[in-house]
Amino acid sequence: MDIAEEQREHWTRVYAGNPHMYGDAPSEVARHAGAVFAERGARSVLELGAGHGRDALWLAGQGFPVTATDFSAPGLEQLDEAAAGLGRADSVRTVLHDARDPLPFADGSFDGVMAHMLLCMALSTDRIRALVGEIGRVLRPGGALVYSVRHTGDAHYGQGVSHGDDIYEHGGFAVHFFPRALVDELAQGWALQEVHAFEEGELPRRLWRVTQTRPVSGEQAATS
């Protein structure tokens, strides 16, 4: 079985057995994304890999209509239930989607996209490239992408079961650890606004929070 398919089944079991496992508080990445989206006047937001929806619910509470995707049906069911309970059902739409497939949205559908830890799941480098290309397609000109990934400075990099392509499985959870060169490659054709290093959770996990924007027509794409 493909490692990504194994991970899809793994997360389906995890969310089914551990409802609302990440709690209600938004992640640091969501708070940053919300500020970026507000500054840029975003009207519609896409969250990829939303899980049970703590970040999607928070973004909706900030006034953004949110479309939330995940490949775990139990996670999205928990999100729908929570949104209804908070009176935010009209602000949150859930879509079951596997990140290995093209995004099921029209070109230029969103003003902002957020992906906390999705790009560093068990996806090959080629699939990560394809996904970022799809994100660029569904973003309107001037739209922002905020994503976070564990990187090769993390303590779990090189530990556990190696699946090649910088993917290591530890405790049943597979991670694609990002070298800085991959971040820069994924920003080609975008304007790279920030690569911010931070830590999260136990161990602790070491991550980068990346903010990049789609140039408006006539602007020169640049990285910094």
> pLDDT tens, 143-202?
999 999 999 999 999 999 999 999 999 988 899 999 999 999 999 999 999 999 999 988
Cα 110–chain centre separation? 15
- How does pLDDT run across 13-25, given as a tens digit for each residue? 777 777 776 668 9
- How does pLDDT run across 75-114, given as a tens digit for each residue? 999 999 999 999 999 999 999 999 999 999 999 999 999 9
Going across the sheet that includes 205-213, the strands are 92-96, 66-70, 45-48, 110-116, 139-150, 205-213, 191-200
Share the mean pLDDT of the chain: 92
Q: What is the pLDDT of residue 172?
A: 85
Distance in angstroms (rounded) separating the CA atoms of residues 71 and 122: 13
**What is the model's pTM?**
0.91
Q: What is the pLDDT of residue 186?
A: 98
Which residue ranges form the domains of the chain, and what is each CATH number? 3-213 (3.40.50.150)
**Which residue, 47, 23, 22, is CA-closest to 147?**
47
Determine contact, residues 96/139, Cβ cutoff 8 Å: no
Q: What is the pLDDT of residue 179?
A: 98
Residue 207 to residues 40, 55, 164: CA-CA distances in angstroms? 24, 17, 20
pLDDT band, residue 1 (cuts 50/70/90): very low
Mean pLDDT of 34-56: 97
Distance in angstroms (rounded) separating the CA atoms of residues 217 and 109: 16
- How does pLDDT run across 106-145, given as a tens digit for each residue? 999 999 999 999 999 999 999 999 999 999 999 999 999 9
